[in-house]
Amino acid sequence: MPRTIVVDLTGKLPPNTRRIRLTTNLQIYWDQVLVDNGPDAIQSMRQTELPLSEAHLAFRGYPRQVDGATPGDLTYDYQSISRTGPFQWQRGAYTRYGNVTPLLKDTDNRYVIFGSGEDIDAEFSTAALPKLPAGWNRDYFFYADGFVKDMDFYEALPFTVAEMPFHGMTAYPYPSREHFPDDTGTLAYRLDWNDRVESGDRTQLYRFDYRPEYSTPMVQP
């Protein structure tokens, strides 16, 4: 997906450096690289954190993928949605549909578990936003703390939700001396929130089907 990466090079380069080499083992297409040697502009910036108001988990489907000029340059048309697609689900317990706001208030090991075709609709309160001074612009940044588990043959434990990742693990899969927290609060979270079980034996159409009647978001209580 298109994205911007910012790297602070202060104190990391020898004096008079004029060339920097970027190396990677990923298929990445660089659009442009910009270097800023100007003074720190933090004094001309203001940051305001917007609290999460509500978040709901539901099945949406698969928006039509629009390919750009280069591989990996993708956008999605959410006005054209398919209820089915060539995707399988990992076996295990997923978070129930509906209001999941309590699970997203803090950075902890009580998170929302959701799968293919599902999404979280999040709303943030703008009440704390100050009035913009003349000539200023406002940008929004979305910060997320979570885990992604690909269903790839070469991934670790790709076909099940378990073992669940957690903050503080030293590796994944984590060694036998480590385990997902089993304190009272975490156990209650797993029993009360993650009660939507996927067996892996579902029967479905494994192709996209973009019908006009599917174009509106599909929300389940």
pLDDT in tens, 71-84: 778 889 999 999 99
Q: Give 38's strand partners.
A: none
Flag whether pLDDT at 184 surpasses 70: yes
Quote the CA–CA distance of 122 and 198 in Å, as a whole number: 24
Distances (CA, A) of 136 to 39, 45, 52, 106: 19, 9, 25, 31
Q: Look at residue 218 in the predicted model and tell me its pLDDT.
A: 52
**Tell me, what's the pLDDT at 69?**
83
Q: What is the residue-averaged pLDDT of the chain?
A: 89
Sequential DSSP letters for 86-155? S----BEEEPPSEE-GGGGSSSSS------TTEEEEEEE--TTPPPPPTT-----------------TTS
Say if residues 108 and 166 touch (Cβ distance below 8 Å).
no
pLDDT tens per residue across span 84-140: 999 989 999 999 999 999 999 999 999 999 999 999 999 999 988 999 999 999 999
C-beta neighbour count of 19 within 10 angstroms: 4
Coil/strand/helix, residue 22: coil
CB 189 within 8 A of CB 110: yes
In one-letter notation, the amino acid at residue 126 is T
Mean pLDDT confidence for 182-204: 90
State whether residue 42 is helix, strand or coil: helix
Q: What is the pLDDT of residue 192?
A: 96
The pLDDT value given to residue 203: 82
Residue ranges of the domains in the chain?
A: 6-38+49-221
188's enclosing H/E stretch is helix 184-192
- Within 13 Å and on the Cβ side, how many CA atoms surround 221? 0
| Length of the chain, in residues | 221
What is the 3-state composition of the chain as percent helix, strand, coil, each rounded to the nearest 5?
10, 20, 75
> How does DSSP assign 82-99, residue by residue?
ES--S----BEEEPPSEE
Give per-residue pLDDT as tens, 172-183. 999 999 999 988
